[in-house]
Every structure is written in C-alpha cells, then in structure tokens.
Amino acid sequence: MASNQIGQCCAVGVKHEGEPTGKLETLEGVTTYVARPGSNAKSGVAILFLTDVFGYKFPNNQLLADDYARNGYLTIVPNIIHDDPVPAERPEGFDIMKWFAGEAPHGKEPHGPETVFPIVDKSISWLKSQGINKIGAVGYCYGAKHSIVKLGKKEVDVVYVAHPSFVEESELEAIKGPLSIAAAETDSIFPAEKRHKSEEILQKTGQPYQITLYSGVEHGFSVRGDMKNPAVKFGKEQAFFQAIQWFDQWLK
C-alpha cells in the first residue's frame, strides 16, 4: 500500500474558530456543502472536496471549503459519510474499524469505497452539468483514496491530498494527472517508508507531483490541528497554500 489503513488517530481533533459561510444544498440527490466564490470566481473550474471521517458538516471542513472559495474556486463538499460521521469527541471504546464496517453502536452502515464512489460520481456529474470542464479534487485522510482513484480514471484533472489513508500502490501508479501530497512528520498511516515508496512510484508515472513534509505535526494536522500550537498552525496554513498554489498552476 502507498498508505496504511486508517487508525484511531483519525478521530481526534481540535475545532477551528470561525463561522462557515457556505450553504447546504441538494445536488443530484446528495446533500452537499457548497462554498461559492465571489467576484474573483475562476471560470470553468471547481474543487470537489472529499472529507475525512468527520464529514461535510464538521465545521473545520466547511471552513476549509470556504477558504478554497475565497480563492476563486467553486467548492462542493458532498456527504460521502452518509450522515454517519465519526464523533468529534470519541466515546470510550469507540472502534473506528467497526465504524467502517457499519457495526452498531460504532456506525450505522458500511463506509467502504462501494458507498463513497456513487456519491462522488453524482458530484462530478453535477459539476459538469454546471459547465465545469476541469475539476480539482481535494482529499483529506479518508477522502484521499477516492480522489486518487478518480485521477487514475481521468474523471478529475488535478488532485491534492493531505495525510492520506487506504491508498493502494496500484492506485498511485495509475494516476493520469498532477498530484500533490501534504504529509505529517508523525503519521502511523503515512509514515516515512510509505512516503518514500510513494515518491518512487510517482517518479515512474511521468505525471507532475509534489510531496511536502511538515515538521512538528501529526496525522490530521491540515484539518484538525490545534491552532494554539505554533508549529501546527504554521503547517496547517502552509498545507492549504500548497493546495491553492497547486490548483492555480495545474487547474487551468
């Protein structure tokens, strides 16, 4: 695998400050958080934001979507977790792998690729119906796999992922467009050996790629980091700028 399976560290976080400015809309039958740009809107391009296990209602994810919109990108965050997010404050004994399997009381239904890709497909269909001709996909942790798979199928054009999980080597080998990765120094899911292996794979693809390692941060830092920690705050902000610069360069 290019990254390990998700772990308990994916379900720990600190909320960020701010009031989301987007709206919940129903797109192709999917409840979706939509962040629309203002007068600086970029024509014909959009960002498909695939979340971590906290989902589209998690304020941190909504605030990030708003940030992409402020940079000119129509950004949609579909409900890929079927309104069954991992609790932001995990109860004692919570087993995230049982959440994936949909085993009560940890989850309501399975959360494997077979439940995610139909939602992603509907989101892509809606974007194309709006005149969008180039799509950038953002994948945080859980959402990274689905973004990379779609890049391999040329159903999205450019991808940025942060602290990815569940990505198979074969999926990384198959990419057919630019891929940027933000990695944490401390990450049992995407550790050094996985980063190095991913670099070897990406070199062989012939596609534009970037892997940036942020020191002093852990898995989840780009969404759920503690902003009171200067190293985490710096890493989170730089990882976002990394995404914007990547899309500005390749999503044209």
Active-site residues, by number, are: 141, 187, 219
Contact 182, 234 (CB under 8 A): no
Query: Which whole-number Å values give the CA distances from 53 to 7, 11, 35, 60, 203, in the listed order?
Result: 11, 7, 20, 12, 30
DSSP structure class, residue 112: S
Number of Cα atoms under 13 Å in the Cβ half of residue 226: 7
Contact 55, 81 (CB under 8 A): yes
Of 5, 9, 2, 24, nearest to 186 (Cα)? Answer: 9
